[in-house]
């Protein structure tokens, strides 16, 4: 058997994966490691809701890939298992980046069907949600995940104001808010209007980047659940963990394990080798870029493409090229530039230009080919 060239090779109907879903973005791990303190803080804030009162508001902060969304999902599952009198709803603000679209998702979560696509005002939409909460005597806990996208669209203050003041306009409505930000440069409280700052006094829960031992521990658990025994050796796991630690994003490591496994299968191998990981890393390291691009509309993607072809040029020159293609005005152009800058997709730095004073130069934060390939 030891001399059999077919030994260690997969047949066409075999897989290195025990459960491939373990490596998908929406997978909720049974054991949520190294976030005990954060979970205790979140539980403390939501405990009043289980007793029928308004919960404490919470601000969850931390870089991408540090477990924030998983924590919210785990917490909401626990609340749902304890009582039916608390409605928990998570809104992805990367997809729903306006006040109206946020409340449309809240309407859908409250009534289990979507609101009319047109002809219903925000006031009526909100009123129906609040009336239903009062009628059912339910507490609503809203998690605005990736709330930074509401700030990028200047919608955060209006959205939070409506939620935080709901009990004044609709007596008996009990709503708690969890804002989740993945933008380390965003000072959530400072960027809100004064009318919102006066009522928004949230508990602050911070999610730091996982350290190397924590990354190894978490990835090892995924390996046990996701791969058949012996597919990932210790040396390979440590290599994946090292690459993950360099990015500070646990999602990179999880995606890297998945892609490396697929690479091994392409070679019909029963084990993942270093070359499988190295090749996979060229794609996995851009998971944050892919996530950011997925939230852009066609116009925003078009400007990013123009910047890629005019990398390092002055904002006015980039606008000329963008205007020729879209005919959009400078105000809207400037808004999109600011959003791309806030997302970390570009650098919009002010520089001195002879005879023109100070002007912004626009450059990509990632390699040109990496951006253009993912825009196609």
pLDDT score at 118: 77
Is 210 labeled as ligand-binding? yes
The answer to whether 68 is annotated as binding is yes
Cα(277)–Cα(255) distance, integer angstroms:
10
| Half-sphere CA count of 100, side-chain side, radius 13 A | 10
Over residues 269-295, the pLDDT tens digits come to: 999 999 999 999 999 999 999 989 998
Among 1.10.8.60, 1.10.510.10, 3.30.390.30, 1.25.40.10, name the CATH number for the domain at 216-285. 1.10.8.60
20-68 pLDDT, tens digit per residue, is 999 998 899 999 999 999 999 999 999 999 999 999 999 999 999 999 9
Distance of CA 172 to the CA centre of its chain: 32
- Secondary element (H or E) of residue 204: strand 203-206
Comma-separated ranges of CATH 1.10.8.60 domains in the chain:
216-285
98 annotated ligand binder:
no
What CATH number labels 36-206? 3.40.50.300
Higher-confidence residue of 119 and 80: namely: 80
Check: CB of residue 265 under 8 Å from CB of residue 339: no
Asked if 159 contacts 175 with a C-beta cutoff of 8 angstroms, the reply is: no
What is the chain's mean pLDDT, rounded?
Answer: 93
> Is 333 annotated as belonging to a binding site?
no
- 331 labeled part of a ligand binding site: no
* 109 annotated ligand-binding residue: no
Tell me if the domain spanning 296-375 has CATH number 1.10.10.10.
Answer: yes
- Residue 316 annotated in ligand binding: no
CATH 1.10.10.10 residue spans of the chain: 296-375
Structure tokens at 325: 């293609």
- What pLDDT does 5 receive? 46
H-assigned helices in 228-297: 234-247, 250-266, 274-284, 287-294
Tell me the torsion sign for CA atoms 73, 75, 81, 83: negative
């Amino acid at each position: 058997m030891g001399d059999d060239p077919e030994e260690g090779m997969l047949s066409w109907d075999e897989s290195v994966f025990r459960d491939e879903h373990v490596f998908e973005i929406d997978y909720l791990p049974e054991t949520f490691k190294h976030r005990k303190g954060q979970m205790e803080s979140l539980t403390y804030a939501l405990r009043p809701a289980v007793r029928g009162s308004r919960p404490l508001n919470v601000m969850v902060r931390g870089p991408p890939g540090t477990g924030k969304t998983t924590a919210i999902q785990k917490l909401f599952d626990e609340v749902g298992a304890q009582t039916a009198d608390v409605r928990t709803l998570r809104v992805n603000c990367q997809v729903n980046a306006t006040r109206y679209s946020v409340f449309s998702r809240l309407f859908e979560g409250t009534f289990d069907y979507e609101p009319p696509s047109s002809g219903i005002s925000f006031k009526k939409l909100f009123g129906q949600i609040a009336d239903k909460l009062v009628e059912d005597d339910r507490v609503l806990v809203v998690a605005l995940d990736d709330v930074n996208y509401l700030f990028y669209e200047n919608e955060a203050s209006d959205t939070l104001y409506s939620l935080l003041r709901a009990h004044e306009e609709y007596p008996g409505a009990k709503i708690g808010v969890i804002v989740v930000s993945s933008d380390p440069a965003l000072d959530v409280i400072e960027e809100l209007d004064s009318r919102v700052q006066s009522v928004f006094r949230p508990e602050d829960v911070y999610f730091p980047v996982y350290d190397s031992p924590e990354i190894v521990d978490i990835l090892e658990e995924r390996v046990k659940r996701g791969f058949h025994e012996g597919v990932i050796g210790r040396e390979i796991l440590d290599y994946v963990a090292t690459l993950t630690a360099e990015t500070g994003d646990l999602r990179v490591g999880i995606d890297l394990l998945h892609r490396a496994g697929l690479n091994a299968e392409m070679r019909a191998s029963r084990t993942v080798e270093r070359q499988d990981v190295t090749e996979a890393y060229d794609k996995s390291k851009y998971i944050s870029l892919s996530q950011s691009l997925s939230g852009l509309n066609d116009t925003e993607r078009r400007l990013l493409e123009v910047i890629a072809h005019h990398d390092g040029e002055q904002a006015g020159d980039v606008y000329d090229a963008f205007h020729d293609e879209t005919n959009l005005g400078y105000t809207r152009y400037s808004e999109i530039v600011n959003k791309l800058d806030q997302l970390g997709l570009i650098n919009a730095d002010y520089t001195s230009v002879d005879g023109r004073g100070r002007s912004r130069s626009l450059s990509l934060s990632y390699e040109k080919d990496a951006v253009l390939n993912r825009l196609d």
